[in-house]
Chain A
Amino acid sequence: MMRLDHGIERGRRIQIILDGERVDVFEGETLAAAMIEQSSAFRRDSNGMARGMFCNMGTCGECTVTLLPGGQRVRACLVPAQVGMDVTRD
């Protein structure tokens, strides 16, 4: 996934944990944006097919992830990345 890098103001580089691995993201961008930079496939469906971002506006629920250690289920497209977040995809 290619990012725009001119004429854009972003938060500082921070690290979150995604599926147990440290990844660099921009503070304040959505978790979905951070995830899509890693891979456009967010999960595999029951037939083994890759599924990724769909609506990016909180409607479809495709990007739902679990926040550790609390276990809250949130829509990654609505939640800003913050230092130290621990995120698990399905």
Chain B
Amino acid sequence: MGGGLIGCATAWRLAREGAKVTVLDSGDFGMGASGQNAGSLHFQLERRFLENGDALAEQATRTAALNRLAISDWSSLEADLATNLHITMNGGLMVAETAEECALLELKIARENAEGLRTRMIDGHEARQIAPYLSEAICAAGYSPDEGHADARLVTHAIAIAADKTGALLRPRCRVQSIRRVCREYVVRTAAEQFAASQILIACGAWTAHVAAMLNLHVPLFPVGLLMNATERVAQVVPHLVQHVGRRLSMKQTHSGNLLIGGGWPSRMALDAEGRFTLYRPPAVIEASLRGNLRVAIDVAPMVATINLVRSWTGITAISADQLPIVGEIPAMPGCWVAGGGSAFTLGPTFARLIAQSMSGTKCEELEIVAPSRFAHLNSFMGQ
């Protein structure tokens, strides 16, 4: 369930191994967070993991093994699919402007290196040699040779086509109405059809908690509205992924020449008639977010000030109760798998490959750090 990047890629992997797979989505494929995100391939430890104390940073560092796998999965994806997804991996810089940020960067890079990531600390001068568009105010950067970006509008679509060609059954615009567990099978009903499966995967992004509720289960994924911006097309000037260790920024330049600027600035989620967050209307742009986001971009790369903004868009992603993704089998419900909760574009192809492998019976140690079992207590009184 869920025709996003993870759902389609898992189906593609499973179908290639000869499994009988169906993918259901209430809307069209790749139209949720998989298609709304700005396509960063980020392999450095994320800023959001560094601003909430050592314990979280330590825990997040242990996901580095997944980042290493993701580097290799993205490197081979275009060849595997025999299509151009505008994947570029020309390197990424996570910049610092203050002494405190430099110190944070050093700690971060030490953690990454200990986990086998090839990040290295460079000073402002070297950063500007690699990336001449950077401001004189940049005093240091973490440089990852593998970072980059891909076109999020193309990736899920291409994987869905590959899944279809390998024999997976794709069912867009089929909303799941109920899921029942009957003996050792799951029976999933849509308005027109009924499917029986020995195993199911719920990879519905921000909708995951709603779908899991059909099985009387809690999955602590919460919707988050974000803001992204696109400038007009300009000559190629930013070949890297640019992030900031102390401020919210992700910036890259698309194949067509637009700069995409985001980095975790909030948008305002719409409310339904009962005053609850709704996923059925896009969040609204918060002006302070827009201003703040562009301010960081200009502070980091002054030439951004000379380029016109053509579009701002909002999208909804999901974040877990402890910020790490939730990926694996739900202990209270054998055969029911879940995947989502942040970084799922960068890590999506890897999650999908490992889930497919696990569903086929080969345990994946790499998924232990993100296993749903850490939230098993939430389902102590749930399930059936």
Contact = CB atoms under 8 A, between A and B. Distances in A.
A and B: real partners?
yes
Interface of A: 45-46, 60-61, 64, 73, 90
Interface in B310-364: 310-311
Contact of B308 (A60, A64, A90): A64
B232 interface: yes
A90 B233 CA distance: 9
B232 A73 contact: yes
A64 B308 CA distance: 10
Interface string B236-255: 00000000000000000001
**Most A Cβ at <10 Å: residue of B255, B256, B308:** B308
Nearest to A72: B308
Main SS class of interface, B: loop
A61 B256 contact: no
Interface of B: 232-233, 255-257, 307-308, 310-311
Contact of B232 (A45, A46, A64): A64
16 contacts: A45-B256, A46-B255, A46-B256, A46-B257, A60-B310, A61-B232, A61-B308, A61-B310, A61-B311, A64-B232, A64-B308, A64-B310, A73-B232, A73-B307, A73-B308, A90-B233
Contacts of B308: 61, 64, 73
Contacts of B311: 61
Given A61-B308, A61-B311, 6 more contacts: A46-B256, A61-B232, A64-B232, A64-B308, A73-B308, A90-B233
A70 B81 CA distance: 46
Contacts of B232: 61, 64, 73
B230 to A, nearest CB: 9
Nearest to A90: B233
A15 to B, nearest CB: 27
B3 to A, nearest CB: 26
A73 B307 CA distance: 8
A45 B275 CA distance: 44
A45 B311 CA distance: 18
Contacts of A45: 256
Contacts of B310: 60-61, 64
B237 to A, nearest CB: 15
Name the 8 nearest CB pairs between A and B, nearest first.
Answer: A61-B310, A46-B256, A73-B308, A64-B232, A46-B255, A61-B232, A73-B232, A45-B256
